[in-house]
Amino acid sequence: MTGVAETFKGAGTVLQGEKVGQREEIEKIRNIGIIAHIDAGKTTTTERILFHTGRIHRMGEVHEGTAVMDWMEQEQERGITITSAVTTCLWKDSKINIIDTPGHVDFTIEVERSLKVLDGALVVFCAVGGVQPQTETVWRQADHYEVPKLALINKVDRTGADFFKVIIEMHRKLGANAVPIQIPIGKEDDFRGIIDLVTCKAYMFGEKGDLEVLEECEIPEDMKELSSHWRHNLIEKLADVDDTVEDIYLEDKGIYPDQLKAHIRRVANKNLFVPVLCASALKNKGMKMVIDAVVDYLPSPLEVKLPKAVDPETGEEVMISPEEDGPLCAYAYKVMTDPFVGTLTFTRIYSGKIESGKTVYNSSSGKRERVGQIVKMHADQREMVKSVGPGEIVGLVGLKNTTTANTLCDEKKPLAMERIDYPEPVISMAIEPATRADQDKLAQGLRKLEDEDPSFKVLYNEETGQTLIAGMGELHLEIIVDRLKREFSVNANVGSPQVAYRETVTRSVKATGKFIQQTGGRGQYGHVEVVMEPSEKGEGIVFEESVKGGTVPREYFSSVEKGIKNAARTGILAGYPVTDVKVTLYDGSYHEVDSSEMAFSNAASIAFKDGLSKGVSVLLEPIMKLEVTTPDEYLGDVIGDMNMRRIKVESIDQKATTKIITGAAPLAQMFGYATALRSLTQGRATYTMEPSFYKEVPKDIVDKILVGTGS
């Protein structure tokens, strides 16, 4: 491996052969995620990769419920991916760890936490659907974590497929520097081969696609001009982002395929360039070339920018590197209840080594954890290993105090990695045990599911005595209830889905809170003066202090903040949580004997409620980004129904013989929309929906909500 030894020389020390070997092994690892909009073909793509790498010996099909990666019963029944599944396979001399993620927006947190630990992503596009709403969401998530991407335009054999139109959409909708490194030979059901623009060779498929030996041949005569255009485009786009290629391009020099591969890999790993591939995963055409591209163009753990780690005590940034003999730094990105081994903690190791039977330190909880077993996952199957080093993604058995987004490290060298901000639930429903015997099982099941899924919340309404479950959508909660029944043997009764409204203030006000109690002995005294005002959208509750002269001692500031955040859990209009309010503590008073943390916390709660009543509270409702695809002849009926549901239509685009309607839809009006849309269009229209923002509820709707809640 050229140049490796030089990287580790210093102060006259010669690198040992063992260390070189470790680096070479890590260099062969690819940690990738398969991400996309629902029904673009992610799971089918994964199945084909596993088959060709020898990981499985029969290709499963999503539509038959036999896909290996969709191992949950609910996934097999519904034909969708619900939970991210992990597997490992070998291709040539490389090891590929793959996470197959869900495409449905209700399970977007699975994509978010998977991307946090991945080094590269294979983004799958439908050649007919193009760039769809959830594609935009997962692309933004990948950009946020600076994950290099390969784009696969799948289903190029389908009627209505347009490979080049999808590339134009990637530029327009995603702002991506997406450049084909392959182009298809033939289109729709005539898709019969691929031209590799890097090698300038054509590869023709037989009847069984990749199951037969690909026929390498010269580029067909009728495609030479097109392939020449797109190869020139490839080099031109590379020259725009790479100085070396720019020099070659300007001097009109030749460039060999191996050189071109190296340049593409370098700029792709810097997120300056997205190589685009084409295939038909279902028909098994082009998938071997996709696996080659994963190895050729996506980075190893040695080539990526490692996430930030800090010293939890000082907050100072600590540099980590993928060295087995370095300090341990591992990130628990997912916790799952396994019926055979108990709690399984999915973990990415960035530095150091984890050994079964040894103890690690959880810097997030401040507790030691003993690693019972280390398992390499293949969907729901496990392979035991004794130790694991940098770059690996594994499951750890036996961790009792570790939850999602915790950092595992050496106790003598503590490290903490950045946590993920999880979205707030937008929908809730009441749940109760069907019998007294189900009561304890329900509580236990809900607790475990809440530990597994950070976007799922269990709430308790003190006024009604109801237990509420809250999540990201109807399907999300439906799956939760189904899992309670199947995995935890709980029979439960559930109410109708309810919108997760929020409350906020519309103007700046001053508020006072006093908590004074005299009980004969030591009393309680707390007094705060605050300013409450609207904050930026999505900021939640923001607390600041500007106390002068010590009128409120500094040791009570955290109690004031705690009291404010406790009070914000229930608003004054209908009991919904309060959000997007900035509270500034500017004055108050205290008693040297009677003041306490509890007194100031209670005083702050009183002030917050006082401020809500003065600040003209309003209700906010979740607005969803909606996209409906309907045949032209049903456009009028669909638009008419949208108007009745208070949906604001933002655009109507034409694609072949269908209309694509984009709009902003109040979630409260969208329950049962799937059934209504099917009825309006004889089952021919489809829609996708994802949370977008919160907006003030119209006055006439507020009155109905308040009547419904008894407020």
Phi, psi of 664 (to 5 degrees): -110, 120
Beta strands in 502-551 (DSSP E): 502-505, 509-517, 524-534, 541-545
Q: Which amino acid is at 325?
A: D
- pTM across the whole model: 0.70
Q: What CATH number labels 24-297? A: 3.40.50.300
CA–CA dist 119, 95 (Å, integer): 13
**What percent of the chain lies above the pLDDT cut of 70?**
88
Q: What pLDDT is attached to residue 464?
A: 62
Residue 226 and residue 187: Cα distance in Å, rounded?
Answer: 14
d(Cα 277, Cα 279) in Å, to the nearest integer? 7
Distance CA 269, CA 144 (A): 15
For residues 187-209, average pLDDT: 90
Q: Summarize the confidence of residues 515-536 as an average pLDDT.
A: 87
For the chain, how big is the Rg over CA atoms in Å?
Answer: 28
* Residue ranges of the chain assigned to CATH 3.30.70.240: 622-709
Cβ(286)–Cβ(211) below 8 Å: no
Q: State the CB neighbour count (10 A cutoff) for residue 400.
A: 13
581-619 b/e with 16+ CB inside 10 Å = b? bbbbbbbbebeeeebbeebbbbbbbbbbbbbbeebebbb
User: Among the CATH numbers 1.10.580.10, 3.30.70.240, 3.90.1150.10, 3.20.20.210, which is that of 622-709?
Assistant: 3.30.70.240
The pLDDT of residue 259 is 86
Give the pLDDT confidence score for residue 134 in this predicted structure. 74
Provide the 10 A C-beta neighbour count for residue 495. Answer: 13
Dmax over CA atoms of the chain, in Å, equals 100
Residue 64 has pLDDT above 70, yes or no: no
The CATH code for residues 430-452+462-497 is: 3.30.70.870
- The percent helix, strand, coil of the chain (3-state, each to 5) is 30, 30, 35
pLDDT average, residue stretch 643-653: 93
Q: Taking the chain, what is the end-to-end CA distance rounded to the nearest angstrom?
A: 71
pLDDT single digits (tens) 297-312 = 999 999 888 888 888 8
CA distances for 88 relative to 43, 116, 389, angstroms: 15, 18, 15
Averaged pLDDT, 515-521: 78
pLDDT band at residue 70 under the 50/70/90 scheme: very low
- CA 41 to chain CA mean position, Å: 18
CATH number for region 503-615:
3.30.230.10
Nearest to 501 by CA among 644, 702, 649: 702
Q: Phi/psi of residue 334, each to 5°?
A: -160, 140
pLDDT band at 74 (very low <50, low <70, confident <90, very high): very low
| Mean pLDDT, the chain, whole residue set | 84
The dihedral formed by the CA atoms of 64, 67, 71 and 77, expressed in degrees to the nearest 10: -20
Q: Rounded to an integer, what distance in angstroms lies between the CA atom of residue 312 and that of residue 315?
A: 5
Domain with CATH 3.30.70.870 in the chain: 430-452+462-497
Q: What is the mean pLDDT of residues 475-482?
A: 83
Question: Is the pLDDT score of 685 beyond 90?
Answer: no
Q: Which residues belong to CATH 3.30.230.10 in the chain?
A: 503-615
Greater confidence, 151 or 142? 151
The residues, ordered by sequence, that sit 6+ positions from 339 with a Cβ below 8 Å of its Cβ are: 487
What is the C-alpha separation between 53 and 288, in angstroms, rounded? 9
Q: 309-417, what's its fold?
A: Elongation Factor Tu (Ef-tu); domain 3 (2.40.30)
Name the amino acid, one letter, at 694: Y
Give residue 687's pLDDT. 82
Parts of the chain belonging to CATH 2.40.30.10? 309-417
Element housing 629 (H / E): strand 617-631
Cα–Cα distances in Å, from 398 out to 41, 70, 342, 355? 35, 25, 8, 13
Is 405 or 74 the better-scoring residue by pLDDT? 405
More confident residue, 331 or 59: 331
Indicate the range of 180-194, 406-420, 599-613 predicted with least confidence: 406-420
Rounded distance, CA 322 to CA 26, Å?
8
In a 3-state reduction of DSSP, which class is residue 464?
Answer: coil
- Among the listed residues 350, 337, 457, the one whose alpha carbon sits nearest the alpha carbon of residue 394: 350
Question: Does residue 521 have a pLDDT over 70?
Answer: no
What is the DSSP annotation of 16-30?
PHHHHHHHHHHHTEE
Indicate the pLDDT class of residue 66, thresholds 50, 70 and 90: very low
The 10s digit of each residue's pLDDT in 541-596 is 999 999 988 899 999 999 999 999 999 988 888 888 899 999 999 999 999 888 99
Task: Answer whether 581's CB lies under 8 Å from 534's CB.
Answer: yes
Q: Lowest-confidence range among 64-78, 385-399, 482-496, 665-679?
A: 64-78
Ranges 353-367, 413-427, 458-472, 692-706, most confident: 353-367
Residue 96 in tokens:
């590929």
Q: Residue 543: which residues within 8 A CB-CB, separation 6 or more?
A: 560, 561, 564, 565, 583, 584, 585
